[in-house]
C-alpha cells in the first residue's frame, strides 16, 4: 500500500505501528448545518481509503469526532460560534441543532454508502479529557493564561509549521474571515485551548474548569478524542485540505507537546470540490446537498461515482452537466452488470488474481479511477458470468456503488424499450422483404420475453403480457 503523506510531501510505503493494524482518525463534521457535497467528497474519499485498507487485509479501527462545541466562524478562534449561529438561525437550542444535523449527516452518509466509523464521539462527551490535556500543557509550559482564556504558545516549538514551506500569508488565508485581533495572544498563531472569557454573552454550553466556567477550543477536541480511543500513537489522520492549517497544525503542536513524542505518521488530505465560483462552502449561502441531488432526480451513488472517477489530491469542479454524464455512465454500468448471467462456476484462481490486481491499483495512493478501469476490464473479459459477478462483488466492498443490486424498473425499462424497438424495426424490414418466417420468428422471440406486439393503423404497438 502506498500513500501520499502531507507531512513529507511524498508518496510513501504505508507502514503501520502494529503490523496488520491501522489506527485511523477522521475530523468529523461541525453539526450546525447540512453537509454540502464538497464536505461529502472528503468523507467519500476517507471511506474509500478505509475500505482499501480493509481490502488489503488490514484490521482498521477508525474514530471520528462530531464538533458540537468550540468551532468559531474562522478556524483561528475568531468570528461567531458556528453552533450558536445555527441555533439562532433556527430558533432552537444548540443541542437540538447538534442532534438534528448529526442525524442528517449520517443519513447523507448512508445514501452515499459511506460506512459509519467504528467510534463516533461528540466533543461535548469529552470535557474531562480536554481539561486534563490542557492542564498537562500548562504544566509543561506550552500553554499560558491570558485575559481569562488558556492559549497554546506556538513560539515554544522549533517547527510549528509542520506542513511546510507555505509562507505565513498563505497560511493565514483561513484565518482572515474576521479581522479582530485577539490582544491576549502572545504570538499571532497562538490558539485557544479553553475559553472562559467568551465574547458571547449568551454562550450556550459551559462547563466548570480549573480556569473558570467556559468551553474548549476546537483543535483540542480532535487530539483528545483520538488519544482517548486510539492511544498515544496513531497511523493515519484524515481531513479536507483546508484542515491542514491551522487545525491539523495545531493538533500536532498540542498532541506532540503533551506526549513528548511523535503522534501521527501519515496525514491524508482531500482536495476541494469547487463550483464555477470557487471552493464550495456553507458561508456562501445556497449550497448543494445530497437531498438537492435527489430532488433533481439523481441517485446519490452517481455522485459517489463522480468522486471516484477523480483523484483525491486534485481539485474537482462540480457542474450539473458533468454529474448528468456520470449519472448516465453509472446507469449503463449497472445495466451491463445486471445483464451478466450467473453462469458457469466461480474460478477461484481468477478471483484471487483480480483481487490482487485491484489491491495494487487502488493501493497506489487511492487510485480509484484505476479501480473503475479494472472493473470495466472484468466486465469485458472472457471469464464466466459467475466469476465476473464474484469479482464485482469483491470490488464493490471498496467502491460501494451497489453494483450487484438489481436495477430499478426504470433502468430496465430503458433497456427493454430500445431492445423492443430494435426488434420491431427488424420485423418491419423482414416484412418489407416478404420474409414472413423471419417476421414471425421475431414476434415469437418477443413473446418469449413477455412482450406482445400488435399491428395497428397507427403502426406497431407493444405491451407486456
d(CA 382, CA 378): 8
47 binds, among Zn ion, ligand AMP, none (CB under 5 to 8 A by kind): none
222 binds, among Zn ion, ligand AMP, none (CB under 5 to 8 A by kind): Zn ion
Specify the 3-state DSSP secondary structure of 101.
Answer: helix
Q: How far is the CB of 237 from Zn ion (least distance, A)?
A: 8
Of the pair 30, 257, the CB lying nearest ligand AMP is at 30
d(CA 405, CA 410): 14
Q: How far is the CB of 24 from Zn ion (least distance, A)?
A: 13
The residue ranges that bind ligand AMP (CB under 6 A) are: 27, 29-30, 38-39, 41-42, 239-240, 242-243, 270, 272-273, 279-281
The residue ranges that bind Zn ion (CB under 5 A) are: 27, 222
**Which residue intervals of 140-211 are DSSP H helices?**
168-171
Of the pair 29, 86, the CB lying nearest ligand AMP is at 29
Of the pair 264, 378, the CB lying nearest Zn ion is at 264
Of the pair 42, 154, the CB lying nearest Zn ion is at 42
Note whether 159 and 250 are within 8 A (CB). Answer: no
d(CA 214, CA 400): 43
Q: Which helix (H) or strand (E) holds 244?
A: none
Q: How far is the CB of 185 from Zn ion (least distance, A)?
A: 21
Q: Which helix (H) or strand (E) holds 215?
A: strand 215-216
Nearest residue relative to ligand AMP (C-beta):
240
d(CA 197, CA 113): 42
233 binds, among Zn ion, ligand AMP, none (CB under 5 to 8 A by kind): none
280 binds, among ligand AMP, Zn ion, none (CB under 5 to 8 A by kind): ligand AMP
- DSSP code at position 155: G
Query: Can you tell me which residue has the cell 460506512?
Result: 115
Of the pair 214, 239, the CB lying nearest ligand AMP is at 239
Q: How far is the CB of 385 from ligand AMP (least distance, A)?
A: 39
38 binds, among ligand AMP, Zn ion, none (CB under 5 to 8 A by kind): ligand AMP
**Which residue intervals of 115-161 are DSSP H helices?**
127-139
The closest alpha carbon to 32, from 110, 120, 102, belongs to 102
Tell me the pairing of strands 264-270 and 234-240.
parallel
Q: How far is the CB of 124 from ligand AMP (least distance, A)?
A: 16
400 binds, among ligand AMP, Zn ion, none (CB under 5 to 8 A by kind): none
Of the pair 106, 462, the CB lying nearest Zn ion is at 106
Q: Which helix (H) or strand (E) holds 234?
A: strand 234-240
Amino acid at each position: 500500500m502506498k500513500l501520499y503523506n502531507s507531512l513529507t510531501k511524498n508518496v510513501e510505503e504505508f507502514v503501520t505501528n502494529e503490523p496488520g493494524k491501522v489506527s485511523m482518525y477522521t475530523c468529523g463534521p461541525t453539526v450546525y448545518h447540512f453537509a454540502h457535497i464538497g464536505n461529502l467528497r472528503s468523507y467519500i474519499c476517507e471511506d474509500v481509503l478505509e475500505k482499501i485498507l480493509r481490502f488489503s487485509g488490514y484490521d482498521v479501527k477508525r474514530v471520528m469526532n462530531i464538533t458540537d462545541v468550540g468551532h468559531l466562524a474562522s478556524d483561528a478562534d475568531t468570528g461567531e460560534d458556528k453552533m450558536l449561529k445555527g441555533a439562532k438561525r433556527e430558533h432552537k437550542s444548540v443541542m437540538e441543532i447538534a442532534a438534528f444535523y448529526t442525524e442528517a449527516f449520517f443519513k447523507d452518509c448512508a445514501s452515499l454508502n459511506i460506512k459509519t466509523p467504528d467510534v463516533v464521539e461528540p466533543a461535548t462527551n469529552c470535557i474531562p479529557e480536554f481539561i486534563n490535556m490542557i492542564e498537562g500543557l500548562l504544566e509543561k509550559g506550552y500553554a499560558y493564561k491570558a485575559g481569562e482564556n488558556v492559549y497554546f504558545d506556538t513560539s515554544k516549538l522549533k517547527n510549528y509549521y509542520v506542513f511546510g514551506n507555505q509562507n505565513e500569508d498563505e497560511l493565514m488565508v483561513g484565518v482572515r474571515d474576521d479581522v479582530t485581533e485577539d490582544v491576549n495572544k502572545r504570538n499571532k498563531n497562538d490558539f485557544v485551548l479553553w475559553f472562559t472569557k467568551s465574547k458571547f454573552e449568551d454562550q450556550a454550553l459551559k462547563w466548570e474548569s480549573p480556569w473558570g466556567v467556559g468551553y474548549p477550543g476546537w483543535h483540542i477536541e480532535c487530539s483528545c478524542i483520538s488519544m482517548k480511543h486510539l492511544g498515544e500513537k496513531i497511523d493515519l489522520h484524515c481531513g479536507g485540505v483546508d484542515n491542514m492549517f491551522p487545525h491539523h497544525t495545531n493538533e500536532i503542536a498540542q498532541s506532540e507537546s503533551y506526549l513528548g513524542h511523535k503522534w501521527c505518521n501519515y496525514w491524508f488530505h482531500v482536495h476541494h470540490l469547487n463550483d464555477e465560483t470557487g471552493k464550495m462552502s456553507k458561508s456562501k449561502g445556497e449550497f448543494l446537498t445530497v437531498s438537492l441531488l435527489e430532488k433533481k432526480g439523481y441517485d446519490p451513488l452517481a455522485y459517489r461515482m463522480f468522486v471516484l472517477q477523480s483523484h483525491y489530491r486534485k481539485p474537482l469542479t462540480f457542474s450539473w452537466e458533468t454529474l448528468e454524464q456520470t449519472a448516465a455512465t453509472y446507469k449503463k454500468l449497472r445495466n451491463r452488470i445486471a445483464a451478466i448471467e450467473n453462469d458457469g462456476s466461480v474460478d477461484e484462481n481468477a478471483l484471487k488474481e483480480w483481487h490482487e490486481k485491484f489491491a495494487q491499483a487502488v493501493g497506489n495512493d487511492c487510485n480509484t479511477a484505476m479501480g473503475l478501469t479494472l472493473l470495466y476490464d472484468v466486465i469485458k473479459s472472457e471469464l464466466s458470468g459467475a466469476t465476473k459477478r464474484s469479482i464485482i462483488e469483491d470490488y464493490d466492498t471498496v467502491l460501494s456503488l451497489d453494483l450487484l443490486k438489481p436495477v430499478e424498473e426504470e433502468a430496465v425499462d430503458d433497456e427493454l424499450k430500445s431492445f423492443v424497438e430494435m426488434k420491431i424495426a427488424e420485423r418491419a424490414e423482414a416484412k418489407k422483404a416478404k420474409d414472413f418466417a423471419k417476421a414471425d420468428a421475431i414476434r415469437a422471440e418477443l413473446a418469449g420475453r413477455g412482450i406482445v406486439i400488435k399491428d395497428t393503423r397507427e403502426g406497431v404497438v407493444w405491451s407486456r403480457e
